[in-house]
Amino acid sequence: MNPYEAYMKEISQPMRDELTNAGFTELTTPEEVDTFISEKKGTSLVVINSVCGCAAGLARPSARESLNNEKRPENLVTVFAGQDREATSRMRDYLEGYEPSSPSMALLKDGQVLHFIPREEIEDYEVEEIVANLTNAYNQYC
């Protein structure tokens, strides 16, 4: 690992921990993404994490807070854009029809996208609005 990669890994670790400590499983390789998509049944929240400010102040807090809803996804996973590039690229392959966006969130059922929240619906929104967007989807699909 070169010094830049080591530095970025160290810097991004708290951003990863914010989701994994809330119960999300990190998918760091394309193979882990493929296995997850092919084997996990039921509803899944996928968070495409990022180092940007809207991920820190809006996406991660909203994803965590949304889990306080009575209905919630059975599976929680995350990939890290800009860090785990191959895993993120593979996950985006499964989000067919949606432009690559980070941060972003997708609610899947049996690997199929039911609801997608792109960066444009995170940036410049309040945490409460994003949580409502997520929990409305949970109430409809979970």
Report, as residue numbers or ranges, the catalytic residues: 52, 54
Which amino acid, 98? Answer: Y
How many whole angstroms separate alpha carbon 106 and alpha carbon 38? 16
Angle, alpha carbons 76-142-33 (nearest 5°): 30
How many whole angstroms separate alpha carbon 49 and alpha carbon 101? 10
Nearest to 142 by CA among 91, 36, 134, 122: 134
